[in-house]
Amino acid sequence: MNEKENNCLENLDEYPETAIPFLGPCRIPSPIHRMKREHFRECFVTDYDRVLLDVSLIRVETLIKKGEPLAAFEMAGPRGQIYFDPSKLKCALVTCGGLCPGLNDVIRSIVLELYHGYGVHNIFGIRYGLRGFISCYGHDLIHLNPEAVRRILGTGGSILGSSRGPQPIDEIVDCLERLNIGILFMIGGDGTLLAAAKIADTIAARGLKIAVVGIPKTIDNDIFLVSRSFGFDTAVDVATQAIRGAHKESEGYPNGIGLIKLMGRYSGFIAATATLAQQEVNFALIPEVDFDLEGRNGLLQSLEARLNLRGHAVIVVAEGAGQKFFKDTQKDRDASGNIKLKDIGLFLKEKISEHFVSRGIDISLKYIDPSYMIRSLPPNTNDRIFCSALARNAVHAGISGKTRMMVGYWNDRFVNIPMKASAGRRKQVNPRGGLWQNVLDVTGQGSLKNR
């Protein structure tokens, strides 16, 4: 899958600034030098090691001919010289927003890399998201060490807990200053990264030497300029099980219909990828591609034609699809300021039932919504491996004094990405791209729009 295509980078003018802010020069030899791991020295990278944003051979050739610089991310990884003195460093970890498979694996790997890799022994967990920084909530800190995280590998949820909604930035920075924190690791999605950027700005305005490092977390895989996020692989795994069950249910009854609602507020990556992974879906509905209910090409007529042809059907719908069918969708917001989506799954269940009743056709409709079960599940093997590498690279960045950045994955490499390049923007499925074209080939659904 082409990452540039998925991120909808249509031309070079859209490429962001990729320079990573830093607190100061790195003058301390990495403790890794002193550990009896001579082979590890070969793994050191420098700030000059880069990963191209666009690996298109034609585009790169054009740039070289024009003498223009290549847009590239700084490669993640350990540096030979570091900024912070590990013996005096204090670090804090916080998880924000919704739960996601792999949170505990990220926490564990950060702690172990800080403790064993760099000799940092003052590590604090902040309870219940950004609320944990605010004194009026009264949440205690958790002292994190290898013993504290020993049993959490591959477990669901977050041992630190989480919360949604904004908190006063100045009070958060006050808390960091009181605790004498040197590196703050923030694990969360787009809202968390926006908050992290504001925290880093306030820190800079006060002249403090505190690094802020983000670890992008979104089960929807919708963070801009990040080709893969942890939890997504697990979500697709579970979604395919739901599709498999819905298919068997639909086959087992005359005019059987399996309807599965999956996560994906604004991006349909889970629904699209699960459809390709379990190719028994006949209709995939995502936020990026409009569809109609009524009319010759609408979903209801197309579904009826499918039942007449094969006697059963499976529909997958992302939670953010079809919001045009609801009125006043902009009014209600959650604690984080996100628009509260209307339930497209229950809406479709009702409309499908009404349509076939009006046509005098008996159907057997089974509705499945595994969303919240997926969020709190343990990560699968692929996600566990990915979480470990992501977390350790976040530690390498923070200990080197890099700030206002997050660790991401791009062109099969872990990279350091400036928060400002990604925050406030969203990755979506390209309706003209290869992923969606493959979905159309697999389902055979065609356009569900009346022209």
Which tens digit of pLDDT belongs to each residue from 382-394? 999 999 999 999 9
CATH class for the region spanning 237-372+432-443:
alpha beta
Mean pLDDT of the chain: 90
The residues that bridge with 223 in the sheet, in sequence order, are: 426
Which is catalytic among the residues 105, 190, 220, 222? 220
**Torsion sign (Cα): 199, 205, 206, 208:** positive
220 belongs to the catalytic site = yes
Q: Residues 369-379: pLDDT tens digits?
A: 998 888 889 99
The two structure tokens encoding residue 439: 């979905």
Give the pTM.
0.90
Half-sphere exposure of 64 (CA within 13 A, CB side): 8
DSSP secondary-structure letter at 449? S
Span 169-185, average pLDDT: 98
Which of the listed CATH numbers 3.90.1010.10, 3.40.50.450, 2.70.98.60, 3.40.605.10 matches domain 3-229+377-422?
3.40.50.450
Q: What SS3 class is residue 353?
A: helix
Domain with CATH 3.40.50.460 in the chain: 237-372+432-443
Q: Are strands 142-143 and 312-318 parallel, antiparallel or unpaired?
A: unpaired
Distance of alpha carbon 20 from alpha carbon 418, whole angstroms: 6
**Torsion sign (Cα): 430, 214, 98, 275:** positive
Span 310-324, average pLDDT: 96
Q: What is the pLDDT of residue 36?
A: 47
Domain with CATH 3.40.50.450 in the chain: 3-229+377-422
Distance of alpha carbon 202 from alpha carbon 210, whole angstroms: 10
Q: What is the pLDDT of residue 213?
A: 98
Distance of alpha carbon 18 from alpha carbon 15, whole angstroms: 9
